[in-house]
Chain A
Amino acid sequence: GESVGLHLPTLSVQEGDNSIINCAYSNSASDYFIWYKQESGKGPQFIIDIRSNMDKRQGQRVTVLLNKTVKHLSLQIAATQPGDSAVYFCAEITSGAGSYQLTFGKGTKLSVIP
């Protein structure tokens, strides 16, 4: 398959600033979306999720925004910390079609500058 390793979008932010990571999803019938964080050598770690009947959900320091009209998902991280440095993936599920497999996006690498 296509290698995206050398072309992974990268976001560099200063420690303490807010980060916004964007994702365009593919299936307009998807009804459940999740953001995962993947640190080097680790598996994807659940951050926050949102159902398609919502347009915003807040967690601790994180907010997910969903715009179904343009099939866009964003993750906002407040007061970014060095420990937030990782690759962030959005994922979608189309449960209405009886499928519960996660379809992952390509990922964005977040680098936090101390």
Chain B
Amino acid sequence: EPEVTQTPSHQVTQMGQEVILRCVPISNHLYFYWYRQILGQKVEFLVSFYNNEISEKSEIFDDQFSVERPDGSNFTLKIRSTKLEDSAMYFCASSAGTGGNQPQHFGDGTRLSIL
């Protein structure tokens, strides 16, 4: 079964540094998403992306965050100047569509640790 893959599995970075989290969505999917999960808390929506532009974003997704689909297979999340509170699991998801029977499929996440 096709999977969403994310790299790296764990990223450790100094506060203030830039990080790029990478995702390869399922190949025939058109909608892409980033979510985050702070340790022990529920999964929170960050941003959705379709047709090479952001469709929706949450309040969490401020100017420090950006997304990009640099080629036909990768989808990246960049955090420009990391803060301690950015430490979390970041999940990428993709879906073929947005209706019923087209659920979002998640990768196993990148654990981001900010020191």
Q: Do A and B assemble together? A: yes
Pairwise interchain contact B43-A89, C-beta atoms closer than 8 A: yes
A58 to chain B, nearest CB (A): 15
Closest 6 CB pairs of A and B: A5-B40, A43-B106, A101-B45, A100-B98, A104-B43, A43-B108
Pairwise interchain contact B38-A1, C-beta atoms closer than 8 A: yes
Pairwise interchain contact B100-A44, C-beta atoms closer than 8 A: no
Residue A18, interface by CB 8 Å? no
Pairwise interchain contact A99-B56, C-beta atoms closer than 8 A: yes
Residues of chain B in range 88-115 having any CB-CB distance to chain A below 8 Å: 91, 93, 98-101, 103-109
* Secondary structure type dominating chain B contacts: loop
Residue B48, interface by CB 8 Å? yes
Residue B58, interface by CB 8 Å? yes
A41 to chain B, nearest CB (A): 7
Docked complex Cα distance between A101 and B33 (Å): 8
Docked complex Cα distance between A95 and B55 (Å): 13
Of chain B, the residue at the smallest CB distance from A33 is B100
The count of chain B contact residues (Cβ–Cβ below 8 Å) is: 30
Pairwise interchain contact A95-B98, C-beta atoms closer than 8 A: yes
B22 to chain A, nearest CB (A): 15
A112 to chain B, nearest CB (A): 21
Of chain B, the residue at the smallest CB distance from A2 is B41
Pairwise interchain contact A102-B35, C-beta atoms closer than 8 A: yes
Docked complex Cα distance between A103 and B69 (Å): 24
Pairwise interchain contact B40-A3, C-beta atoms closer than 8 A: yes
Of chain A, the residue at the smallest CB distance from B38 is A1
- In the complex, which of the residues A46, A101, A104, A106 contacts B58, with contact meaning CB atoms closer than 8 Å? A101
Residue B75, interface by CB 8 Å? no
Residue A8, interface by CB 8 Å? yes
Residue A70, interface by CB 8 Å? no
Pairwise interchain contact B42-A89, C-beta atoms closer than 8 A: yes
Docked complex Cα distance between A8 and B101 (Å): 29
Residue A34, interface by CB 8 Å? yes
Of chain B, the residue at the smallest CB distance from A47 is B103
Contacts of B35 in A (CB 8 A): 102
